[in-house]
Structure 1
Amino acid sequence: MLPVALPDTVRDALLAPLVDHHCHGVRRDDLTRSQFEPLINAGGVPAPPGTTHFDSPFGMGLRRWCAPLLDLEPHAPPAVYLARRAELGAGEVNRRLLAGAGVVAFLVDTGDEDIDLLSAAEMGRHGGAAADEIVRIEQIEQDVAATAHIAVDYLDGLAEELSARAARAVGLKTVIGGRCGLDFEPARPSTGSVIAGANRRLSDPKPPLTDPVLLRHLLWSAIDVARERGLPVQFQAGFGGRGPGLHRTDPARLSELMDALQPLGVPVILLHCYPYHRAAAYLAGVYPHVYVDVGLALPHTAAASARVMDELLELAPFHKQLFSSDCHGVAETGYLGALYYRQALGTALLARLEAGEWSAADAARVAHMIGSGNARRVYRL
């Protein structure tokens, strides 16, 4: 799995238990092929007729690396893999793959309110790890909008729920980039515009919130809570799901907001970021409160993941990088996220060792920082 030429100290550091600082629950029920395949695609959509999502970098990696954990030969055909998965049952598959990831703590985004997904506590039990909650602020807004009757109730409810949920969490998360892009006006919206937006929202509260004014109000309210409680705020950027257009999720578009947040001291963590991970690395290098990962990109680039990791290491300070798998839907995503992270970082470190740029002690120290140490510090674990 790791390059054979790595020194033992570096190998041990890479294989040490990880803190997965951003993941989701996985399905607890047995899945048909038509249910399984969209869950291994970043867009969450079925493959075109006559094709399969197994014919992708992620699908090839799944058959190579997950099959042996289910007692199959590497590269087992998709039909054989899925038949074995069904034979073992979802519970056993989840236990094998989540435990096999070698994670010591899962920080779980609980924004997907689906009873078929494992809770944060269940993720921990299946993976033999600790588990804590990351609160998705847009889900809080959805819950409040469904019960509020007038604007003042809506605004008071947002403030109260954000504070209450943050008290039980280790961080907050926003998907504002997927709702209106990251090129939003960074300033706090005016009171009048927020009240007007709240009235519009309550006239039709069912769809996900896309109003830029209310999204900005929600974000700034969350930032106030994060500052009060010493919590980081995660921003989803770049690759991952569908939104207003990939070009509008470039984290470089957050530069003005990062300027505004720097005096507040609220840690900001840029998630995934691919293909804009170099811009994210730049932001992490110039702003003391900005951190970065390339989580979702690594299992989806699979055999090419070392190149992505190498590009992140070009500029981002090593104390600013974190590991996440973005595990979601099926446990294979968590296992491959950890596996390709270790492979990619191991390959990148070996290149620096062979060039004489780094010592083995430096490489081991960086591996420990990115794998768990930085997350423990930022999230105060």
Structure 2
Amino acid sequence: MGGPVQEALEALELVDHHCHGVVTADLTREGFENLITEGAAWPGISPFDSPVGVAIRRHCAPLLDLPRHAPPDEYLSRRAELGPREVHRRFLTAARTSTFCVDTGYAPERLTTPAELAGTAGGTAYEVVRLEGVAEAVAAKGVEPDDYGDAFQAAALDAVQRPGVVAVKSVAAYRTGFDLDPARPSVAEVTEAARHWSARGGRLDDPVLVRHLLWTAVDLGLPLQLHTGFGDNDIRLHRVDPARLTDWLHLTTGTIPVLLLHCWPYQRQAAYLAAVFEHVYLDVGLTLHHVGPARARAVLEEAMEITPFRKLLYSSDAYGVAEFYCLGALAFRRGLAGLLQDRVDADELGLPDALRFAEWAGAHNASRVYGLSGPS
């Protein structure tokens, strides 16, 4: 593989518009395997024997001074020998990513902070605030149901005013799916829902309060990232097709940018939404490192069939292991370069346009949408 588009993408410093920290501690085999799958390391079934596991052994092993396709035991032994700090440095440097927009809302283990992540990569980091975490922190303080709506809005506003915050995110896909009444809920509806939530406790999964959260995001005025499609088994996949957001997108036209994350297997539906709504954008992050470089092009081709070139962004959605930063960047560069170069070679696309579109998707689109202009 080669050509000018590939060369341009190899030289481009990526903007990763949605990612997470990496685990700072040494990882056991079980710990590592659990982090490289959205399922689990079940007895007798290793995630190394999956597309993502094969891709790690093929493309990440050489960065640990191992041969391609190194066996899992050798891979993990070498990883432990080098230690987390050196492993992180090697993979983050190899990703050649200059800017990270880091979702800090999910950290069951000690993860690198945005500043630590950026320092390891020699880049810049910004923060993405997960709104469900803000809501649950408000509820944990014992707020009265009558006061919940205002208290959540105030807490969310405080959160997004922290230095370096450039966006908010919702995981409504995990909590309710998108089969929601698209209208903004009334104050009375929010109060009644908050009363029920207060009585039963637990995470935010009330449909009325999720709607309130999404409309609060609109009021905050920052770009909103929405998990769609592929995730762990907490997802009900048939309920997270982004096309189910169509009525809500009609109501929010002219407000904030809405970034559809991941999307698989609904990348075509996401592309439709990006093509018909001015404020909708998409990526296929997470998907790319799970399908690996061998299939990244196929996913990108479907996502780009009708997507305006100004609407596709790069993300790794790397979480837990630094390999996913490297693998996501590699899969994106190779997949995008291959499909654009073939269009150039077939005279369906001019080379200057192909180079421009590659730069847009890899960096400029995210910089424009989030207003990124320098170190946080």
**Partner of residue 81, structure 1:** 75
Q: Percent of pairs identical after alignment?
A: 47
Q: Say whether the 8 Å CA contact 1:181–1:245 is kept in structure 2.
A: yes
How far, CA to CA, are the matches of 2:45 and 2:362 in structure 1?
36
Q: Say whether the 8 Å CA contact 1:177–1:243 is kept in structure 2.
A: no
The SS at the match of 2:254 is helix
Alignment counterpart, residue 41 of structure 1, candidates 13, 21, 37: 37
How far, CA to CA, are the matches of 1:55 and 1:255 in structure 2?
38
Q: 1:14 to 1:363 in 2, by over 3 A?
A: farther
Q: Kindly report structure 1 stretches of 4+ aligned residues shifted beyond 4 Å.
A: none
How far, CA to CA, are the matches of 1:175 and 1:328 in structure 2?
15
How far, CA to CA, are the matches of 1:131 and 1:167 in structure 2?
16
Q: Say whether the 8 Å CA contact 1:13–1:365 is kept in structure 2.
A: no
List gaps (5 residues or longer) in structure 1: none
The SS at the match of 1:236 is strand
Alignment counterpart, residue 285 of structure 1, candidates 275, 284, 294: 275
Alignment counterpart, residue 194 of structure 1, candidates 190, 193, 199: 190
1:209-253 Cα distance to aligned partner (Å, 9 max, x none): 111011111111121012xxxx21011101122335101100000
Quote how far apart the aligned CAs of 1:79 are. 0.4
Quote how far apart the aligned CAs of 1:115 are. 5.4
Alignment counterpart, residue 122 of structure 1, candidates 111, 116, 121: 116
Q: Does 1:92 align with 2:86?
A: yes
Alignment counterpart, residue 156 of structure 1, candidates 150, 155, 175: 150
Q: Say whether the 8 Å CA contact 1:39–1:329 is kept in structure 2.
A: yes
Q: Does 1:184 align with 2:188?
A: no
How far, CA to CA, are the matches of 2:235 and 2:227 in structure 1?
13
Give the paired residue count: 369
Normalised by the length of structure 1, the TM-score is 0.94
How far, CA to CA, are the matches of 2:315 and 2:119 in structure 1?
18
1:130-169 alignment runs, 5 A limit:
130-168=124-162, 169=165
Q: Say whether the 8 Å CA contact 1:238–1:272 is kept in structure 2.
A: yes
Normalised by the length of structure 2, the TM-score is 0.95
Q: Does 1:208 align with 2:199?
A: no
1:43-69 Cα distance to aligned partner (Å, 9 max, x none): 3x22x3212000111101100111111
The SS at the match of 1:105 is strand
How far, CA to CA, are the matches of 1:134 and 1:239 in structure 2?
20
How far, CA to CA, are the matches of 1:84 and 1:10 in structure 2?
31
Quote how far apart the aligned CAs of 1:305 are. 1.2
Q: Say whether the 8 Å CA contact 2:6–2:333 is kept in structure 1.
A: no
How far, CA to CA, are the matches of 1:368 and 1:167 in structure 2?
30
The SS at the match of 2:48 is coil
1:1-381 alignment runs, 5 A limit:
3-4=1-2, 6-7=3-4, 10-43=6-39, 45-46=40-41, 48-114=42-108, 116-168=110-162, 169-205=165-201, 207-226=202-221, 231-264=222-255, 266-302=256-292, 303-381=294-372
How far, CA to CA, are the matches of 1:198 and 1:14 in structure 2?
50
Quote how far apart the aligned CAs of 1:101 are. 0.5
Quote how far apart the aligned CAs of 1:95 are. 1.2
Which stretch of structure 1 is more off in the superposition, 249-258 or 110-119?
Answer: 110-119
The SS at the match of 1:214 is helix
1:238-276 Cα distance to aligned partner (Å, 9 max, x none): 112233510110000010011001032x10010000000
List gaps (5 residues or longer) in structure 2: none
User: Aligned-pair RMSD on alpha carbons?
Assistant: 1.3
Which stretch of structure 1 is more off in the superposition, 133-142 or 242-251?
Answer: 242-251
Quote how far apart the aligned CAs of 1:114 are. 4.0
